[in-house]
Copies of this chain bind each other. A is one copy, B any other.
Amino acid sequence: MERFRFPVTVRYLEVDAQGVVFNMWYLGYFDEALNGYLAHCGHPYPKLIASGTDVQLVHTELDYKAGVRWGDPLVIEVSTARIGNTSFTLDFQAKVGDTVACAASTVYVTVDAKELTKKRVPDDLRAGLLG
């Protein structure tokens, strides 16, 4: 499906003594991009919760390829990589122009919003994630 693009503002405080964004902040950026992506797919997080489904990050892999500096126009591209029975996987690319600074693959499980027990990915969420 078409790539969803989510712009992120790098904060000065996120840049470390080496002058580039410290590695952990990408997980913060991707979390914001996840929410933008869910909304883009027709399932904004508050609506998802209200419908009885929550998502939990259970696994993520990150590859760091280039540094990002304060002021760089960072964009997070998000796409659905896989939808399983009780989980789905998203791919993230943090890019400045055409340069990929950090790429990630992240697995979320769908859980009951109250009990926090695993549940099947609801059909409408599944359809939304498939675009």
Given A59-B61, A61-B60, A64-B58: A22 in contact with B17 (beta carbons within 8 A): no
Interface centre among A46, A56, A62 (most CB of B within 10 A): A62
Residue of B nearest to A60 (CB): B62
> What class of interface size applies to chain A in its complex with B?
20 to 34
Closest Cβ–Cβ distance, residue A94 to chain B (whole Å):
13
Copies in the complex: 4
A17 near B70: Cβ-Cβ < 8 Å: yes
Q: How far is the CB of A114 from chain B (nearest CB, A)?
A: 13
Contact of A32 among B12, B16, B59 (CB under 8 A): B12
Q: Which residue of B lies closest to A63 (CB)?
A: B59
B70 pairs with A64, CB closer than 8 A: no
Task: Give the interface of A toward B (CB within 8 A).
Answer: 9, 11-13, 15-17, 19, 22-28, 31-32, 35, 46, 56-65, 70-71
- Top 5 A-B pairs, shortest CB-CB distance: A24-B27, A61-B61, A13-B22, A24-B24, A15-B17
